[in-house]
Amino acid sequence: MSQAPLLSVENLAFERDDSCLFSGVSFSVDPGDVLQIEGANGSGKTTLLRLLTGSLQPSAGDIRYLGQTLSACRYDYLSDMLYIGHQPAVKLNLSAEENLRWMVATSAQSNDTSITDALTQVGLAGYSDIPCYALSAGQHRRVALARLLISEARLWYLDEPFTSIDKQGVAFLQSCLQQHVADGGAVILSTHQDLALTGLRKYKLKSHAEGIV
């Protein structure tokens, strides 16, 4: 018997304000996969990622983790999932180090990478004790992305993760993604960045607003 996919999505639909944003969304990912969600602005890429994290509920369809519905394995699923949204979600009154300590404390699984090492790897050495309100937008993004280095979650959901980072940061992040899938993880992301990653697949999200019904 073949093993169930790490994640499978079957005929997912979402309605907002009595209007269907998208429907019939189906795909699956296995360890080693990178799935890039494509679509026009307003097609629902961020909404789809939020559905996958469980922060929104679909109007129809199923999301399954290792063959089980999320309602049957919610704790295991949330423990094996990391989401970084379009906004970096750092607390501005906390330092970069304090933000990461808070993130680690609220995470179900973390590895043995130290917070100092994680911040150094994302280019924030020397900035760890500075309040985030004094950092740039790109540095806020780097604080959020440092979570990738300390998480044990296999499923990464990333919404426009390359926003506000420079060319060096883009190269570093792509390296992190490649290492993650090489280690048996999987990534689902939305991005306008051209990616050259092993295991990359693309899924075109078409909204009803585009006339796709």
One-letter amino acid identity for 5? P
What CATH homologous superfamily does 1-80+154-162+177-213 map to? P-loop containing nucleotide triphosphate hydrolases (3.40.50.300)
Q: Give CA 25 to chain center in angstroms.
A: 18
Whole-number pLDDT of residue 199: 83
Whole-number pLDDT of residue 130: 93
What is the reported pTM?
0.90
Show me where the domains of the chain are located: 1-80+154-162+177-213, 88-153
| Beta-strand pair 34-38/186-190 | parallel
Instruction: Work out the average pLDDT over 55-79.
Output: 93
* Average model confidence (pLDDT) across the chain: 88
pLDDT exceeding 90 applies to what percent of the chain? 56
Instruction: Work out the average pLDDT over 121-138.
Output: 91
Any idea what DSSP says for residue 2? P
First-residue to last-residue Cα distance in the chain: 35
pLDDT at 1 over 60: no
Give the pLDDT band (50/70/90) at residue 206: confident
The 10 Å Cβ neighbour count of residue 135 is 19
Give the pLDDT band (50/70/90) at residue 108: low
Instruction: Work out the average pLDDT over 131-136.
Output: 93
pLDDT in tens, 40-57: 888 899 999 999 999 999
Whole-number pLDDT of residue 211: 42
pLDDT at 135 over 90: yes
Instruction: Work out the average pLDDT over 9-17.
Output: 93
Instruction: Work out the average pLDDT over 195-212.
Output: 76
pLDDT at 78 over 70: yes
| Residue owning tokens 């009803």 | 208
* Alpha carbon distance 157, 127 (integer Å): 26
